[in-house]
């Protein structure tokens, strides 16, 4: 176990490695209790560092032998490093033997066991838990891997690259030899030895090459692999068409494992996936799950170029591969969605995630730039900032150079850097150099503030119309609040996509002052100064500005539009994102009034009428309606406030929700009746949108019914729960019952458990649904606590632990933040307990109290105490220590 005294690692301290490891020949004698690893390397000194010692990283492994050119040499082990002095200047062979105990590896980093098989996870620092190595991404080597294991228990033996040999060792054991021709950093190494079956598919790509695609799962899960295979094939074609990037391997494998810390891992040619992001069939997976599988399969596949062929020089550059690859998977999913409306729905969902996860991160103790400057535990920096905000930064470049220009930039990026470990600067430079005339290139240094400065910029917009001159003047200004270590921020380059909408619904032609011609009904303004003014001429009537269309930059826009203006945008904006945004702003305004107690606690007829108008609008897609009719989350409301009282927010939001349920009663009935029959299941955007709206309607009807003790709708929901032909509808109906605290809920929950007891991913949903239900009189918290004792519950499987604990502590503010502090006591106990099992998982849970400083009393004091208890744990891991230290700073 890593001891909790790690120093801060700083980006500015980067130095090139003292040695290169050119080839690695690994032999594994696999045994859960004691696995022997023989590691033979061809090592070469970096001539820039004559005389330097070789320092190899190692953690939780037992060293049994070290040979240089076949001879024993003297060595020392200090600070989890094997140190060899006086090494030759000529290339030499280094052989290291170690043993490890995969069966005891509960951290799930390095080589571990799950469900009786062996699996690996090496990113970021897992390879050092397998053998001593230069565990850093800028050391790239060609691997040959020999696996030896019991034949009956582990019939499938996999590693990266191509299978070159296999056979029997003796009656019980067999072996396989794999070679990966592509040099790679050790974080992309993988092996699997397990009893698995596979779905196979042969494909021919545009280059005319044949490839074998395989998805390996446990025997009972083969009927859940079709969607992942379809998604993989679609990803392969998309990357060829959009970016000219083809699969460079004869064989591409995906393996599903149920114990996994993160979503999935892009190991070269051998992706390893959390089962949650690969297995899906209509009976067990929801529409959201289908969408996630599609995007995670694509994400990991896209890493083959953006991450593997060109990788990161050091872990501070993580967003080089993650931001770019998230951007790519988001574009892919939009293209798969098809229609303009379905694309907008995907964009809205992505922005919702950004605002719900990344904006709070940027405003709290874990705020860090997209390219961080320091860390204690790198696993803590696989964050919404590095991933989602990093993707927004790439998206802004895309906006500034255009789709074709971006493709040219990508081409240049691969021409320059294929096969190398590079930095975020190298990426931005390639995109800029391929587009010399672009706004990006003109202001590249300034644009890169997006990589170096933390915090969410605020953009203020003020407009004024002159009826006399027919001009509209738009004044934009920006500022960004200080974050830890960054007291003053320099201005960002902010692309503001926009248009002007007349109250009668016309999207006006835009004609900037000084330009010869109008430029159509939308344009992109580039805000790069602290303040800038843009004047539009020939504006026939006073317009409403529609700013930040498609959410063109990750900023908070303060446009101070009145209700009238927002109603106009909601009804008429040609940009569907901003129509949704207008509705969110209208709802947020009302929620904040209700929370503060200023202003009416009752919803105004005009707002209700506008939502009714959206719901009944024949031109709009169901998926879009569902998004518009869903109130901003409690977390998003909390984001807007300086002092957060989670109970008040909950009460206010529940009250508004109930008002919508009642005021739109007839409309919800209409929506349910019009959308509840989707026929045979297909996860496409149109039918999944219909299901989403029908399920929202059902939950609203149950909510209303439950408050009047009218059993009609809860009865219908129960019936639907039993009859549904797919998990989306079944879970939707179950959720309607549980979330309205209906009398039928307990019965439905136990039937559900009974029916799906052998489907772990469904049982996860069962735990989550109960722990995330709207709190009522403390019952939800009590239930969640009791579920810890359920025979199916365990802290050792991350999915299961998260299904209950993240649902309660991260997704359910009103159940978690209790005046009696019981939520925090429970949280601290679990963080401490999990820390001894799996520090990465514990550190994720630890973040539930990131925002304790903004809590109202008595929550604030109680939360501080709980953080102090965690901090006081003896042997606290670096991972949790980093989170808690920052929170308390
Ligand atoms: N590279 C993986 C992905 O985003 C994430 C792996 C991170 N794992 C970790 N333990 N930090 O696709
Ligand atoms: Zn990734």
Residue 514, CA distances (Å) to 313, 334, 466, 510, 518 in order: 46, 36, 17, 12, 10
Is the per-residue pLDDT at 4 higher than 50?
A: no
Nearest alpha-carbon partner for 552 in 588, 586, 526: 526
Is the per-residue pLDDT at 418 higher than 50?
A: yes
Residue 24, CA distances (Å) to 561, 808, 872 in order: 62, 45, 42
Residue nearest to ligand 1 atom 12, measured at CA: 265
What are the pLDDT digits (tens) for 547-561?
999 999 999 999 989
As a whole number, mean pLDDT of residues 756-780 equals 98
Domain ranges of the chain: 9-195, 310-371+378-450, 457-560, 606-756
- What does the DSSP 8-state code read for residue 11? G
Count Cα atoms within 13 angstroms, Cβ side, for 858.
Answer: 8
Is the per-residue pLDDT at 429 higher than 50?
A: yes
User: Which of 2, 127, 265 to mutate to test ligand 1, by most ligand atoms within 8 A of the CB atom?
Assistant: 265
Closest ligand 1 atom, CA of 296?
Answer: 12
Closest ligand 1 atom, CA of 378?
Answer: 11
What are the pLDDT digits (tens) for 38-58?
999 999 999 999 999 999 999
As a whole number, mean pLDDT of residues 528-542 equals 98
Between the CA of 232 and the centroid of ligand 1 the distance, in Å, is 19
Quickly state the pLDDT bin for 543 (edges 50, 70, 90): very high
**Helix %, strand %, coil % of the chain (to 5):** 45, 20, 35
Share of the chain above pLDDT 70, in %: 99
Q: Give the per-residue pLDDT at 5.
A: 63
Between the CA of 295 and the centroid of ligand 2 the distance, in Å, is 11
Q: Give the per-residue pLDDT at 677.
A: 87
Topology alike, domains 9-195 and 310-371+378-450: no
As a whole number, mean pLDDT of residues 76-83 equals 97
Residue nearest to ligand 1 atom 1, measured at CA: 265
Q: How far apart are CA 869 and CA 884, in angstroms?
A: 10
Q: How far apart are CA 842 and CA 839, in angstroms?
A: 5
- The yes/no answer on whether domain 606-756 falls in CATH 2.40.50.100 is no
Helix ranges restricted to H, 338-476: 340-353, 359-362, 384, 390-417, 424-433, 439-442, 444-447, 449-452
Residue nearest to ligand 1 atom 3, measured at CA: 265
CA end-to-end span of the chain: 26
Between the CA of 121 and the centroid of ligand 1 the distance, in Å, is 9
Q: How far apart are CA 839 and CA 828, in angstroms?
A: 14
Whether cis (ω within 30° of 0) applies to the bond prior to 858 is yes
Q: Give the per-residue pLDDT at 3.
A: 46
Q: Please state, as a whole number, how many other Cβ atoms lie within 10 Å of the Cβ of residue 79.
A: 10
CATH number of 310-371+378-450: 1.10.390.10
pTM across the whole model: 0.98
Q: Spell out the SS3 assignment of 593-622.
A: HHHHCCCCCCCCHHHHHHHHHHHHCCCCCH
Quickly state the pLDDT bin for 1 (edges 50, 70, 90): very low
Between the CA of 201 and the centroid of ligand 1 the distance, in Å, is 26
What are the pLDDT digits (tens) for 788-824?
999 999 999 999 999 999 999 999 999 999 999 999 9
User: Which of 123, 321, 383 to mutate to test ligand 1, by most ligand atoms within 8 A of the CB atom?
Assistant: 123
* Arithmetic mean of pLDDT over the chain: 97
Q: Where are the beta strands (DSSP E) in 16-135?
A: 19-29, 35-45, 54-57, 62-68, 71-72, 76-78, 81-84, 92-100, 110-114, 117-121
Q: How far apart are CA 295 and CA 336, in angstroms?
A: 10
Is the per-residue pLDDT at 304 higher than 60?
A: yes
Is the per-residue pLDDT at 205 higher than 90?
A: no
Helix ranges restricted to H, 708-759: 711-723, 727-739, 745-755
Residue nearest to ligand 1 atom 2, measured at CA: 265
What are the pLDDT digits (tens) for 722-731?
999 999 999 9
Nearest alpha-carbon partner for 123 in 19, 261, 290, 216: 261
The CATH class of 9-195 is mainly beta
Closest ligand 1 atom, CA of 126?
Answer: 10
Q: How far apart are CA 174 and CA 192, in angstroms?
A: 14
Closest-lying ligand to the alpha carbon of 329? 2
Q: Is the Cα torsion angle 189, 193, 194, 197 positive or negative in sign?
A: positive
As a whole number, mean pLDDT of residues 565-569 equals 98
**Which residues partner with 26 through β-bridges?**
39, 145
Q: How far apart are CA 779 and CA 137, in angstroms?
A: 49
Between the CA of 322 and the centroid of ligand 2 the distance, in Å, is 5
Residue nearest to ligand 1 atom 11, measured at CA: 379
Helix 798-809 with 839-846: angle, nearest 10 deg: 10
Closest-lying ligand to the alpha carbon of 110? 1
Q: How far apart are CA 869 and CA 880, in angstroms?
A: 12
For ligand 1, residues with CB inside 6 Å are 123-124, 261-262, 264-266, 299-300, 322, 379, 382, 840
Residue nearest to ligand 1 atom 7, measured at CA: 123
Task: Looking at the structure, give the CATH architecture of the domain made up of residues 457-560.
Answer: Sandwich (2.60)
Q: CB within 8 A of 344, min separation 6: which ones?
A: 550, 576, 577, 580, 624
Alpha carbon 755 to its chain's center: 30
As a whole number, mean pLDDT of residues 493-514 equals 97
Closest-lying ligand to the alpha carbon of 322? 2
Closest-lying ligand to the alpha carbon of 273? 1
Q: Give the per-residue pLDDT at 822.
A: 98
Closest ligand 1 atom, CA of 322?
Answer: 4
Residue nearest to ligand 1 atom 5, measured at CA: 265
As a whole number, mean pLDDT of residues 189-216 equals 96
As a whole number, mean pLDDT of residues 466-484 equals 97
Is the per-residue pLDDT at 715 higher than 60?
A: yes
Q: Spell out the SS3 assignment of 130-152.
A: CCCECCCCCCEEEEEEEEEEECC
Is the per-residue pLDDT at 599 higher than 90?
A: no
Share of the chain above pLDDT 90, in %: 97
Task: Report the catalytic residues.
Answer: 300
What are the pLDDT digits (tens) for 614-670?
999 999 999 999 999 999 999 999 999 999 999 999 999 999 999 999 999 999 999
User: Which of 120, 125, 262 to mutate to test ligand 1, by most ligand atoms within 8 A of the CB atom?
Assistant: 262
| C-alpha torsion 841→847→848→850, nearest 10 | 180
As a whole number, mean pLDDT of residues 690-701 equals 98
Interface pTM (ipTM) of the complex? 0.98
Between the CA of 850 and the centroid of ligand 2 the distance, in Å, is 24
Quickly state the pLDDT bin for 7 (edges 50, 70, 90): confident
Is the per-residue pLDDT at 2 higher than 70?
A: no
Between the CA of 395 and the centroid of ligand 1 the distance, in Å, is 21
Q: Mind giving me the DSSP string for 505-519?
A: S-BPPP-BTT-SS--
């Amino acid at each position: 176990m890593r001891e909790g005294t790690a120093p801060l690692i700083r980006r500015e301290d980067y130095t090139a490695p003292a040695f290169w490891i050119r080839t690695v020949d690994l032999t594994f004698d696999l045994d859960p209790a004691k696995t022997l690893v023989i590691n033979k390397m061809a090592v070469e000194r970096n001539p820039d560092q004559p005389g330097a010692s070789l320092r190899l990283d190692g953690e939780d492994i037992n060293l049994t032998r070290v040979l240089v050119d076949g001879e024993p040499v003297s060595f020392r082990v200090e600070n989890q490093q094997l140190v060899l002095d006086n090494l030759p200047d000529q290339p030499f062979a280094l052989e290291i033997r170690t043993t490890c105990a995969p069966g005891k590896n509960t951290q799930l980093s390095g080589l571990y066991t799950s469900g009786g098989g062996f699996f690996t996870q090496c990113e970021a620092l897992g390879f050092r838990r397998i053998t001593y190595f230069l565990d850093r991404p800028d050391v790239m080597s060609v691997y040959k891997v020999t696996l030896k294991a019991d034949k009956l228990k582990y019939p499938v033996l996999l590693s990266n690259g191509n299978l070159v040999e296999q056979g029997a060792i003796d009656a019980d054991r067999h072996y396989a030899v794999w070679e990966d021709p592509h040099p790679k950093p050790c974080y992309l190494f993988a092996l699997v030895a397990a009893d698995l079956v596979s779905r196979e598919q042969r494909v021919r790509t545009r280059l005319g090459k044949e490839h074998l695609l395989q998805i390996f799962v446990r025997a009972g899960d083969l009927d859940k692999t079709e969607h992942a295979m379809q998604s993989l094939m679609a990803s392969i074609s998309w990357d060829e068409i959009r970016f000219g990037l083809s699969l460079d391997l004869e064989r591409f494998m995906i393996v599903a494992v149920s114990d996994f810390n993160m979503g999935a891992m892009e190991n070269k040619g051998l992706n390893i996936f959390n089962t949650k992001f690969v297995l899906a069939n209509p009976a067990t997976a929801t529409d959201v799950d289908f969408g996630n599988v599609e995007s995670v399969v694509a994400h990991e596949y896209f890493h083959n170029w953006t991450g593997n062929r060109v990788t990161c020089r050091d872990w501070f550059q993580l967003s080089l591969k993650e931001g770019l690859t998230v951007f790519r998977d988001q574009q892919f999913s939009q293209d798969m969605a098809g229609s303009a409306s379905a694309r907008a729905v995907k964009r809205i969902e992505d922005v919702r995630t950004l605002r719900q996860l990344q904006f709070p991160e940027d405003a709290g103790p874990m705020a860090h730039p997209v390219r961080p400057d320091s860390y204690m535990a790198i696993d803590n920096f696989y964050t919404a900032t590095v991933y989602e905000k990093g993707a927004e930064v790439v998206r802004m470049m895309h906006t500034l150079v255009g789709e074709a220009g971006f493709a040219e930039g990508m081409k240049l990026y691969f021409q320059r850097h294929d096969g190398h470990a590079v930095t975020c600067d190298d990426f931005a430079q390639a995109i800029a150099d391929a587009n010399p005339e672009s706004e990006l290139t003109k202001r590249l240094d300034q644009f890169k503030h997006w990589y170096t400065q933390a915090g969410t910029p605020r953009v203020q917009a003020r407009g004024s119309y002159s009826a006399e001159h027919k001009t509209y003047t738009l004044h934009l200004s920006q500022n960004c609040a200080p974050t830890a270590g960054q007291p003053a921020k320099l201005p960002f380059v902010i692309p503001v996509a926009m248009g002007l909408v007349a109250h009668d619904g016309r999207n006006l032609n835009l004609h900037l002052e000084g330009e010869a011609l109008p430029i159509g009904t939308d344009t992109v303004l580039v805000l790069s100064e602290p303040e800038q003014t843009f004047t539009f001429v020939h504006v026939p009537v006073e317009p409403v500005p529609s700013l930040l269309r498609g959410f063109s930059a990750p900023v908070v826009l303060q446009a101070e539009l009145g209700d009238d203006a927002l109603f106009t945008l909601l009804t008429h904006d040609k940009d569907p994102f901003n129509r949704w945004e207008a509705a969110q702003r209208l709802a947020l305004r009302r929620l904040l009034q209700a929370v503060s107690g200023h202003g009416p606690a009752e919803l105004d007829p005009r707002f209700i009428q506008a939502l009714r108008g959206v719901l009944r609008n024949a031109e709009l897609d169901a998926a879009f309606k569902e998004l518009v009719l869903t109130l901003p989350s409690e977390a998003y409301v909390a984001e807007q406030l300086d002092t957060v009282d989670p109970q008040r927010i909950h009460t206010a939001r529940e009250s508004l929700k109930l008002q919508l349920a009642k005021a739109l009663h007839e409309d919800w009935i209409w929506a349910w009746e019009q959308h509840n029959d989707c026929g045979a299941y297909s996860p496409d955007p149109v039918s999944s949108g219909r299901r989403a709206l029908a399920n929202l309607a059902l939950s609203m009807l149950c909510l209303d019914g439950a408050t009047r003790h009218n059993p009609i709708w809860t009865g219908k929901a129960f019936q639907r729960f039993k009859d549904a032909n797919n998990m989306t509808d079944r879970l939707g109906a179950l959720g309607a019952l549980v979330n309205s605290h209906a009398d039928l809920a307990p019965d439905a929950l136990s039937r559900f458990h009974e029916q799906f007891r052998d489907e772990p991913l469904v049982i996860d949903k069962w735990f989550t649904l109960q722990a995330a239900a709207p709190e009522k009189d403390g019952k939800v918290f009590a239930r969640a606590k009791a579920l810890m004792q359920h025979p199916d519950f365990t802290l050792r499987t991350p999915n299961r632990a998260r299904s209950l604990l993240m649902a309660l502590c991260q997704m359910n503010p009103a159940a978690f933040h209790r005046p009696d502090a019981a939520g925090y006591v429970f949280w601290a106990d679990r963080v401490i307990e999990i820390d001894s099992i799996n520090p990465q998982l514990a550190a994720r849970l630890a973040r539930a109290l990131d925002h304790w400083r903004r809590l109202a009393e008595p929550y604030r004091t109680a939360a501080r105490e709980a953080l102090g208890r965690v901090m006081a744990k003896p042997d606290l891991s670096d991972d949790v220590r980093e989170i808690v230290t920052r929170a308390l700073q």
